[in-house]
């Protein structure tokens, strides 16, 4: 899976495309194949101001690929709009992301 990983050396932001394993959803999570994602001000500010590195995207739309064993509301193939948990791994600037059920 490809994802964008951001970093900052003030005053410049940079990102690189890296190959990562497809994440596995936990019991109450869904794996989403990302079709669209948003770039919000907090996404670049986390990198620039706070020095956070990695994949900070949180808003996405796409298709459910897999669900955790305690997820009953969604099934593979469902179209979803979802919010990834801020500061957690597997953000939305990637081919696949994790979202809570």
Rounded to an integer, the average pLDDT of 47-69 is 82
Rounded to an integer, the average pLDDT of 17-23 is 88
Pick the CATH number of 2-100 from 3.90.180.10, 3.30.500.10, 3.90.1170.40, 3.40.710.10: 3.90.180.10
Answer yes or no: is pLDDT of 91 > 90: no
Work out the pLDDT band at 18, boundaries 50, 70, 90: confident
Residue the block writes with tokens 């953000």: 91
For residue 76, the number of C-alpha atoms closer than 13 Å in the C-beta half-sphere is 6
Answer yes or no: is pLDDT of 21 > 70: yes
**CA separation for the pair 28, 69 (Å, rounded):** 7
Q: Could you read off the pLDDT of 22-56 as tens digits, one per residue?
A: 999 999 999 999 999 998 887 777 666 666 666 77
């Amino acid at each position: 899976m490809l994802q964008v990983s951001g970093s900052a050396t003030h005053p410049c932001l940079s990102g690189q495309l890296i190959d990562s394993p497809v994440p596995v959803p936990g019991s109450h999570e869904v794996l989403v194949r990302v079709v669209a994602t948003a770039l919000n001000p907090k996404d670049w500010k986390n990198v620039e101001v706070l020095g956070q590195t990695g994949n900070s995207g949180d808003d996405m739309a796409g298709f459910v690929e897999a669900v955790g064993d305690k997820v009953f509301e969604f099934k593979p193939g469902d179209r979803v709009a979802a919010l990834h948990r801020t500061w957690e791994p597997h953000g939305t600037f990637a081919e696949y992301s994790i979202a809570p059920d």
